[in-house]
């Protein structure tokens, strides 16, 4: 499989074994080590970072690009960014590069300057003064809460160019195999290129040529600093997705300059990013169609092909979760490689498994951003909803037993060591009977899956009892929501891995206490059930009418045509509304997305998309709930905002889609009565209203499914209650998987 993906290629002087890179991703480990008094940044947590990257190299990454490493103090994105030139940082990073090399991998340092995107609310400078963001011009952005960046002087600009060169030298001395200059996603170099943020009229701004002068000077200086033997990648912004910013012609001209000429070669590869952090077009969320940004990368590739160095490789990024889609893109012959980032968080071995043809075993990234981007935005270290070990590889090691790896079987092993995390044969698993019955996990939702998979990966016997006929719990339910098909893919991957590792999975079995006696420990992950509304005195009259359903029934069975009122506007209520108004077919949804944001998507590519492979079964009772002619969908909430609980990166995207589809959203309401055809409320202004409702869906929270733990305790069976079964106040799958993993390690 993946004949094109597995072709070796050259990135400057580097030979890379295949076409998939681990793209740059801030982990929060970059400055999590020891603070150096008076220095701009703490040093990286080199052990954690080394283990994090090593596991991904062993899982097949052809090249790792680090998270952004700032070239100077003001260049940090926030307090948790390291400054490459600060004392001790290069030395700490040398431990990271050594670990990557020992695992047979290659690693590039990303040279980063946040410019006006620096979030410095709690950051102090070298001599204790509050740090200030700098930029080409004093143009603030909304997340800086009114803070206006200082305009760089001409001398500052020259000094910043030198800082890039100095940082590149530190990187090479620390053993990095390559460097990547960050000129995308709205950071400093990108800010210089744009007329929105570069208002200067000097050598560094005033027209497109002068706006390109700074990134060009930086790439020249970096190239000179590292010499011809070290590859220089440049991450350019293929499209800022900002009205009035650089045009496609501006981008093409920039790219042609950045690759240089045969006499003065500059960039050895062009990595294509897309979208600024303040853009109103989503780029990485699950609602974004797979492969949506290929046309942007192809436009950049076309510019490179018409440059003085047409053979410089072009790397596409963003919205790939499946290597079969990477193969499809490579087959078009336009780009040379693809960079994935979050899929390596979700499954460090995504490449090795795929190269071995074991797509079924991949834990697919959900595109939820809940444990990764949302965390990095608030300065927390990143992890992953479906892989809660991510970022904690040192604290939560997996045994290495030297078992052969998929990569080795596929003949593309970059690694010298086995990777127990995904080895096919797990000798320890077969030893289960000798060491006891192992762990029982009751409930195969996110918490239970996290526990079971971790036990199985460590080679211990595990038995999963799941009352339904499928694993996944709330993830399986969410997979019915358009745009969340990857949830089904992730559950399918974890299910297949449990099977592969010899776990005993009993579907359709509601575990009784007597089934659990004799296990070494029990993880009670029985999850939640929807909370019902009381129709009796003190409750909501009419809540027991036949057209009132809970969210689980609504998502599994569908709803008849007509108007729907959704009681409860948290994440579940928003999911139900999305289920009702969004296209369930991925190609149709991609067309709608393209139309809404004025994009040219390549429908052939998206239509062959990955989501279709995992489409949830159609709703059981009302399979044609789409579209809803004439029906009004209303989401109602007593207090708080609609969509609280959804991560900051995704909330605006899903609410925007609902608004676009005409969904009515009402907050501050109180409910009076449900009647056939309507829901009576008092709205936020105190006015009595009737909301049309042929169906009323109740998304008013959930209650824990409990009952086993007390009895197990009484019988002396060690047990831990995790996830929704432990705390049902909010549905938090990140917390659930973290608790599942913790229980698996503790019992
Ligand atoms: Fe992907 Fe969600 Fe994990 Fe982030 S937290 S890597 S988006 S599954």
Dihedral (C-alpha) 443, 444, 448, 450: value to the nearest 10 degrees?
180
Considering only the C-alpha atoms of the chain, give the largest distance between any 2 of them, rounded to a whole number of Å: 85
Q: How many residues does the chain have?
A: 747
- Report whether 352 contacts 411 (CB < 8 A): no
Does a structural domain hold residue 1?
Answer: no
Give the mutation target among 384, 449, 472, 486 for probing the ligand 1 site: most ligand atoms within 8 A of CB.
384
State mean pLDDT over 415-436.
40
Cα radius of gyration rounded to whole Å, the chain: 26
Show the tokens assigned to 362.
Answer: 């991949």
Look up the CATH number of the domain holding residue 594: 3.50.50.60
CA of 14 to the centre of ligand 1 (A): 30
Q: Looking at the structure, do residues 359 and 338 belong to the same domain, yes or no?
A: yes
Q: What is the pLDDT of residue 579?
A: 94
Give the mutation target among 23, 286, 342, 389 for probing the ligand 1 site: most ligand atoms within 8 A of CB.
342
Name the nearest CA neighbour of 176 among 372, 310, 44: 44
Give the closest residue (by CA) to ligand 1 atom 3. Answer: 384
Alpha helices in 598-707 (DSSP H): 603-607, 648-660
Q: Which of 365, 380, 409 is the last residue of a domain?
A: 409
CA distances (Å), origin 313, targets 98, 250, 292, 631 = 26, 20, 20, 50
Q: Looking at the structure, do residues 696 and 710 belong to the same domain, yes or no?
A: no
What residue has token string 């005195």?
537
Does a structural domain hold residue 418?
Answer: no
Interface ipTM: 1.00
CA of 171 to the centre of ligand 1 (A): 29
CA distances (Å), origin 649, targets 50, 205, 389 = 28, 32, 22
Convert 146-194 into a string of H (helix), E (strand) and C (coil).
CCCCEECCHHHHHHHHHHHHHHHHHHHHCCCCEEEEEECCCCHHHHHHC
Q: Which of the four pLDDT bands, split at 50, 70 and 90, describes residue 426?
A: very low
State mean pLDDT over 403-422.
41
Q: Is the pLDDT of residue 419 over 50?
A: no
Q: Model pTM?
A: 0.93
* Distance in angstroms (rounded) separating the CA atoms of residues 419 and 398: 8
For the segment 3-62, what is each residue's pLDDT rounded down to a tens digit? Answer: 999 999 999 999 999 999 999 999 999 988 888 777 778 889 999 999 999 999 999 999
For the segment 116-148, what is each residue's pLDDT rounded down to a tens digit? Answer: 998 766 566 666 666 789 999 999 998 877 789
CA of 345 to the centre of ligand 1 (A): 7
Give the H or E element holding residue 736: helix 733-746
Q: What is the pLDDT of residue 495?
A: 96
Q: Looking at the structure, do residues 620 and 716 belong to the same domain, yes or no?
A: no
CA of 203 to the centre of ligand 1 (A): 42
Strands 14-16 and 9-11: antiparallel
Q: Is the pLDDT of residue 416 over 60?
A: no
Q: Is the pLDDT of residue 207 over 60?
A: yes
Contact residues for 710 (Cβ-Cβ < 8 A; gap 6+): none
Q: Is the pLDDT of residue 472 over 50?
A: yes
Does a structural domain hold residue 415?
Answer: no
Give the mutation target among 284, 288, 350, 366 for probing the ligand 1 site: most ligand atoms within 8 A of CB.
366
Q: Looking at the structure, do residues 243 and 319 belong to the same domain, yes or no?
A: yes
Strand 677-682: give its sheet, edge to edge.
670-675, 677-682, 688-693
CA of 320 to the centre of ligand 1 (A): 12
State mean pLDDT over 390-398.
95
Q: Looking at the structure, do residues 244 and 371 belong to the same domain, yes or no?
A: yes
Q: Is the pLDDT of residue 430 over 90?
A: no
What burial class does residue 378 get, using C-beta atoms within 10 Å of its C-beta: 0-12 exposed, 13-18 middle, 19+ buried?
Answer: exposed
Look up the CATH number of the domain holding residue 336: 3.20.20.70
Show the tokens assigned to 249.
Answer: 């012609």
Q: Looking at the structure, do residues 97 and 222 belong to the same domain, yes or no?
A: yes
Q: Which of the four pLDDT bands, split at 50, 70 and 90, describes residue 213?
A: very high
For the segment 473-529, what is each residue's pLDDT rounded down to a tens digit? Answer: 999 999 999 999 899 999 999 999 999 999 999 999 999 999 999 899 999 999 999
* Distance in angstroms (rounded) separating the CA atoms of residues 80 and 570: 31
* Distance in angstroms (rounded) separating the CA atoms of residues 656 and 644: 14
Q: Looking at the structure, do residues 646 and 498 belong to the same domain, yes or no?
A: no
Q: What is the pLDDT of residue 590?
A: 86
Does a structural domain hold residue 420?
Answer: no
Q: What is the pLDDT of residue 318?
A: 86
State mean pLDDT over 707-726.
93
CA distances (Å), origin 740, targets 151, 388, 693 = 49, 9, 39
- Report whether 191 contacts 135 (CB < 8 A): yes
* Distance in angstroms (rounded) separating the CA atoms of residues 517 and 508: 19
Name the nearest CA neighbour of 286 among 551, 490, 470: 490
* Distance in angstroms (rounded) separating the CA atoms of residues 546 and 364: 38
Convert 590-603 into a string of H (helix), E (strand) and C (coil).
HHHHHHHHCCCCCH
Does a structural domain hold residue 423?
Answer: no
Alpha helices in 64-114 (DSSP H): 89-102
Q: Looking at the structure, do residues 439 and 404 belong to the same domain, yes or no?
A: no
Look up the CATH number of the domain holding residue 485: 3.40.50.720
Phi, psi of 552 (to 5 degrees): -65, -45
Instruction: Give the residues surrounding ligand 1 with Cβ less than 6 Å away.
Output: 342, 345-346, 365-372, 384-386
Look up the domain containing 506 and give its range.
428-529+703-746
* Distance in angstroms (rounded) separating the CA atoms of residues 630 and 410: 54
Hey, is 374 helix, strand or coil? Answer: helix
Q: Is the pLDDT of residue 627 over 60?
A: no
Average confidence score pLDDT of the chain: 90
C-alpha count within 13 angstroms, C-beta hemisphere, residue 592: 17
Q: What is the pLDDT of residue 447?
A: 98
**Cis previous bond, 627, omega within 30:** yes
CA of 366 to the centre of ligand 1 (A): 5
CA of 309 to the centre of ligand 1 (A): 37
Q: Residue 734 CA: which ligand 1 atom is closest?
A: 5
Does a structural domain hold residue 414?
Answer: no
612 or 284, which is more confident? 284
Q: What is the pLDDT of residue 129?
A: 65
Q: Residue 371 CA: which ligand 1 atom is closest?
A: 5
CA of 285 to the centre of ligand 1 (A): 10
Helix axes 213-226, 248-259, angle to 10 degrees: 20
* Distance in angstroms (rounded) separating the CA atoms of residues 67 and 45: 13
Q: Looking at the structure, do residues 694 and 707 belong to the same domain, yes or no?
A: no
Give the mutation target among 25, 365, 450, 733 for probing the ligand 1 site: most ligand atoms within 8 A of CB.
365
Q: What percent of the chain has pLDDT over 90?
A: 78
- Report whether 394 contacts 405 (CB < 8 A): no
- Report whether 4 contacts 329 (CB < 8 A): no
CA of 352 to the centre of ligand 1 (A): 19
Q: Residue 385 CA: which ligand 1 atom is closest?
A: 5
- Report whether 587 contacts 603 (CB < 8 A): yes
CA of 395 to the centre of ligand 1 (A): 20
* Distance in angstroms (rounded) separating the CA atoms of residues 302 and 293: 14
Q: Residue 367 CA: which ligand 1 atom is closest?
A: 7
For the segment 357-366, what is each residue's pLDDT rounded down to a tens digit? Answer: 999 999 999 9
Does a structural domain hold residue 55?
Answer: yes
Q: Looking at the structure, do residues 70 and 109 belong to the same domain, yes or no?
A: yes
Does a structural domain hold residue 421?
Answer: no
Q: Which of 409, 442, 474 is the last residue of a domain?
A: 409
Give the mutation target among 347, 386, 475 for probing the ligand 1 site: most ligand atoms within 8 A of CB.
386
Give the closest residue (by CA) to ligand 1 atom 6. Answer: 342
CA of 733 to the centre of ligand 1 (A): 11
What burial class does residue 244 get, using C-beta atoms within 10 Å of its C-beta: 0-12 exposed, 13-18 middle, 19+ buried?
Answer: exposed
* Distance in angstroms (rounded) separating the CA atoms of residues 405 and 351: 12
Q: Looking at the structure, do residues 649 and 515 belong to the same domain, yes or no?
A: no
Q: Is the pLDDT of residue 542 over 70?
A: yes
* Distance in angstroms (rounded) separating the CA atoms of residues 196 and 493: 44
Contact residues for 729 (Cβ-Cβ < 8 A; gap 6+): 701
Give the mutation target among 347, 348, 370, 494 for probing the ligand 1 site: most ligand atoms within 8 A of CB.
370
Number of domains observed in the structure of the chain = 3
Give the closest residue (by CA) to ligand 1 atom 1. Answer: 365
Q: Residue 342 CA: which ligand 1 atom is closest?
A: 6
Q: Residue 345 CA: which ligand 1 atom is closest?
A: 6
Q: Looking at the structure, do residues 391 and 505 belong to the same domain, yes or no?
A: no
Which range has the worst mean pLDDT, 418-427, 539-548, 697-706? Answer: 418-427
Q: Is the pLDDT of residue 433 over 60?
A: no
Burial 548-573 (b: 16+ CB within 10 A, else e): bbbbbbbbbebbebbbbbbbbbbbbb
Name the nearest CA neighbour of 700 among 635, 648, 653: 635
CA of 274 to the centre of ligand 1 (A): 19
Q: Which residues are known catalytic residues? A: 187
CA of 732 to the centre of ligand 1 (A): 14
């Amino acid at each position: 499989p993946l004949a094109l993906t597995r072709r070796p290629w050259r990135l400057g002087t580097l030979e890379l074994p295949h076409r998939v890179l681990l793209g740059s991703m801030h982990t929060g480990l970059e400055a999590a080590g020891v603070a150096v008094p008076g220095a701009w940044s703490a040093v990286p947590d080199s052990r954690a970072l080394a283990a994090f990257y090593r596991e991904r190299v062993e899982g097949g990454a052809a090249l790792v690009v680090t998270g952004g490493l700032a070239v100077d103090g003001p260049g940090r994105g926030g307090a948790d960014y390291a400054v490459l030139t600060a004392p001790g940082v290069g030395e700490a990073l040398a431990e990271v590069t050594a670990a990557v090399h020992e695992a047979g991998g290659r690693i590039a340092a990303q040279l980063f300057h946040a410019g006006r995107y620096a979030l410095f609310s709690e950051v102090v400078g070298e001599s204790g003064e509050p740090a200030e963001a700098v930029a080409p011009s004093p143009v603030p952005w909304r997340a800086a809460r009114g803070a206006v960046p200082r305009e760089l002087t001409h001398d500052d600009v020259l000094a910043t160019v030198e800082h890039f060169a100095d940082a590149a030298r530190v990187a090479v001395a620390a053993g990095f195999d390559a460097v990547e200059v960050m000129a995308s996603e709205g950071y400093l170099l990108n800010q210089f290129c744009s007329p929105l943020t570069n208002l200067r009229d000097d050598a560094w701004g005033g027209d497109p040529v002068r706006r390109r002068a700074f990134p060009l000077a930086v790439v020249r200086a970096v190239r000179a600093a590292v010499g011809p033997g070290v590859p220089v990648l440049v991450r350019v912004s293929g499209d800022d997705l900002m009205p009035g910013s650089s045009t496609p012609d501006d981008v093409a001209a920039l790219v042609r300059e950045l690759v240089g000429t045969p006499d003065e070669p500059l960039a050895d590869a062009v990595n294509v990013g897309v979208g600024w952090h303040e853009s109103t077009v989503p780029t990485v969320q699950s609602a974004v169609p797979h492969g949506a940004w290929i046309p942007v990368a192809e436009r950049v590739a076309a510019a490179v092909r018409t440059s003085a160095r047409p053979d410089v490789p072009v790397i596409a990024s963003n919205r790939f979760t499946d290597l079969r889609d990477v193969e499809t893109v490579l087959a078009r012959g336009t780009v040379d490689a693809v960079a994935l980032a979050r899929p390596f968080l979700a499954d460090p071995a995504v490449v090795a498994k795929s190269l071995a043809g074991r797509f079924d075993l991949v834990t697919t990234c959900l595109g939820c951003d809940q444990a990764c981007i949302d965390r990095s935005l608030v300065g927390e270290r990143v992890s992953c909803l479906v892989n809660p070990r991510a970022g904690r590889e040192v604290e939560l090691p997996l045994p290495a037993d030297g078992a052969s790896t998929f990569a080795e079987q596929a003949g593309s092993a970059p690694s010298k060591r086995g990777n127990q995390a995904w080895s096919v044969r797990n000798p320890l698993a077969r030893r289960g009977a000798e060491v006891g019955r192992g762990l029982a996990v009751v409930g195969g939702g996110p918490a239970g899956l996290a526990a079971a998979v971790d036990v199985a990966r460590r080679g211990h016997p595990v038995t999963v009892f799941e009352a339904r006929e499928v694993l996944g719990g709330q993830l399986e339910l969410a997979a019915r929501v358009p745009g969340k098909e990857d949830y089904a893919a992730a559950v399918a991957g974890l299910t297949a891995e449990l099977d592969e590792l010899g776990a005993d999975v009993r579907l359709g079995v509601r575990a009784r206490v007597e089934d659990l006696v004799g296990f070494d420990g029990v993880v009670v992950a029985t999850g939640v059930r929807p909370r019902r509304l009381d129709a009796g005195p003190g409750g909501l009259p009419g809540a027991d009418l036949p057209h009132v359903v809970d969210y689980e029934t609504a998502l599994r069975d569908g709803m008849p045509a007509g108007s729907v009122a959704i009681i409860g506007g948290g994440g579940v209520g928003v999911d139900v509304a999305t289920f009702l108004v969004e296209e369930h077919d991925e190609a149709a949804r991609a067309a709608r997305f393209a139309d809404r944001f004025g994009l040219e998507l390549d429908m052939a590519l998206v239509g062959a998309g990955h989501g279709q492979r995992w489409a949830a079964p159609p709703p059981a009772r009302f399979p044609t709930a789409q579209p809803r002619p004439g029906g009004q969908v209303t989401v109602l909430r007593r207090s708080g905002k609609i969509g609280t609980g959804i991560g900051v990166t995704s909330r605006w995207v899903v609410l925007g889609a609902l608004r676009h589809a005409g969904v009515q959203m009402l907050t501050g309401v109180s409910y009076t009565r449900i009647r056939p055809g309507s829901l009576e409320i008092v709205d936020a202004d105190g006015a009595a209203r009737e909301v049309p409702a042929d169906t009323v869906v109740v998304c008013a929270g959930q209650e824990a499914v409990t009952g086993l733990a007390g009895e197990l305790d009484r019988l002396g069976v060690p047990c831990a209650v995790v996830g929704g079964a432990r705390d049902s106040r909010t549905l938090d799958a990140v917390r659930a998987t973290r608790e599942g993993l913790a229980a698996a390690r503790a019992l």
